[in-house]
């Protein structure tokens, strides 16, 4: 296959393929701050609590579990997701935090998931778990990537884990030994090989959602807040989640716009 990418692009591509993910510092801090400030503003509105000073947003989110009853968490999360996705600027700012790396790894004609997902995982909470899975196993296209944004510093059991491409190849070769198991048993079999991704607010994660990943009970003393959203090239194959339903184009180029509307003239 011919490769006209420059040296920097090739190094980035090889690193992503080898690790299955990349952490990077956003060059759009203003967009990242917009996301977190919007979440803090709306969560205070939902829970009817005083909005903290901007300098205390991290502390506020980390200690959120002290301000609510655990039984109310899912209802709060659903209300918050609805408000965020009704904000016409929220998805655009989400994209802008990662525009540069998406253009380098995925392309510049992108489709974006129509809804941004939010995870709130309070300490010891067992109701917000995302067991071991690969998005492709459940019908997603292998052409998708996930942009995962932490709103607080995430570490140990307060973050997510992922199985590296090299270890996944070994699983793939003997997949029949794993496929009949529950997610919990599957996880126990590969537990020693998964990587826990330590990542701070200000950093962003892009990862290959075809690799097995998930989280466990948050045994830290702080609440985890993170967002995730899928992106793919507009004209790459779609899985069960189709364009117009789950995805929509966000950076369609002029030539593509013209081509989509073009009709051959009729000969009478």
Domain residue spans of the chain: 7-261
CB count in 10 Å sphere of residue 167: 18
What pLDDT sits at residue 128?
82
What pLDDT sits at residue 1?
82
- The SS3 of residue 71 is helix
What pLDDT sits at residue 267?
86
Using a cut of 0.85, tell me whether the model's pTM lies above it: yes
What pLDDT sits at residue 127?
84
Q: Are strands 110-113 and 213-214 parallel, antiparallel or unpaired?
A: unpaired
Best CA proximity match to 116, nearest among 141, 154, 146: 146
Domain 7-261: top CATH class = mainly beta
What pLDDT sits at residue 222?
98
CB count in 10 Å sphere of residue 135: 20
pLDDT digits (tens, 9 = 90+) for 163-196: 999 999 998 888 877 777 788 899 999 999 999 9
Q: How many residues does the chain have?
A: 268
Residues above pLDDT 70, as percent of the chain: 100
User: For residue 146, what are its two tokens?
Assistant: 């996930």
- Kindly report the average pLDDT of the chain as a whole number: 95
In angstroms, the first-to-last Cα distance of the chain is 44
Query: Do the Cβ atoms of 209 and 140 come closer than 8 Å?
Result: yes
What pLDDT sits at residue 176?
78
What pLDDT sits at residue 180?
72
Which residue numbers in the chain have pLDDT < 70? none
Best CA proximity match to 122, nearest among 157, 174, 78: 157
What pLDDT sits at residue 205?
98
Q: How does DSSP classify residue 9?
A: H
Query: For residues 39 and 119, what is the distance between their CA atoms, to the nearest angstrom?
Result: 12
Query: For residues 130 and 118, what is the distance between their CA atoms, to the nearest angstrom?
Result: 12
What pLDDT sits at residue 67?
94
What pLDDT sits at residue 175?
84
Radius of gyration of the chain (CA): 20
What pLDDT sits at residue 268?
79
Of all residues in the chain, what percent are helix, strand and coil, respectively (each to 5)? 45, 20, 40
């Amino acid at each position: 296959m011919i490769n006209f990418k420059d040296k920097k692009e090739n190094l980035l591509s090889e690193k992503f393929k080898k690790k299955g993910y990349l952490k990077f510092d956003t060059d759009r801090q203003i967009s990242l701050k917009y996301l977190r400030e919007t979440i803090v503003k709306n969560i205070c509105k939902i829970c009817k609590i005083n909005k903290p000073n901007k300098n205390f947003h991290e502390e506020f989110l980390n200690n959120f579990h002290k301000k609510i009853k655990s039984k109310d968490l899912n209802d709060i999360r659903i209300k918050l997701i609805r408000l965020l996705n009704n904000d016409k600027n929220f998805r655009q700012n989400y994209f802008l935090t990662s525009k540069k790396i998406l253009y380098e790894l995925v392309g510049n004609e992108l489709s974006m998931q129509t809804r941004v997902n939010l995870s709130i995982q309070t300490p010891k909470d067992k109701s917000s778990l995302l067991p071991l899975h690969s998005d492709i196993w459940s019908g997603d296209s292998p052409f998708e990537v996930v942009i995962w944004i932490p709103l607080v510093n995430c570490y140990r059991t307060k973050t997510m884990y992922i199985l590296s491409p090299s270890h996944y190849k070994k699983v793939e070769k003997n997949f029949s030994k794993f496929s009949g198991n529950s997610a919990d048993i599957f996880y126990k079999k590969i537990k020693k090989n998964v990587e826990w991704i330590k990542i701070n607010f200000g950093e962003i994660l892009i990862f290959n959602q075809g690799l097995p990943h998930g989280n466990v009970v948050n045994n830290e003393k702080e609440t985890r807040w993170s967002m995730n959203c899928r992106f793919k090239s507009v004209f790459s194959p779609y899985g069960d989640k189709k364009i117009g339903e789950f995805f929509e184009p966000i950076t369609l180029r002029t030539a593509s716009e013209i081509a989509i509307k073009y009709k051959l003239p009729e000969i009478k």
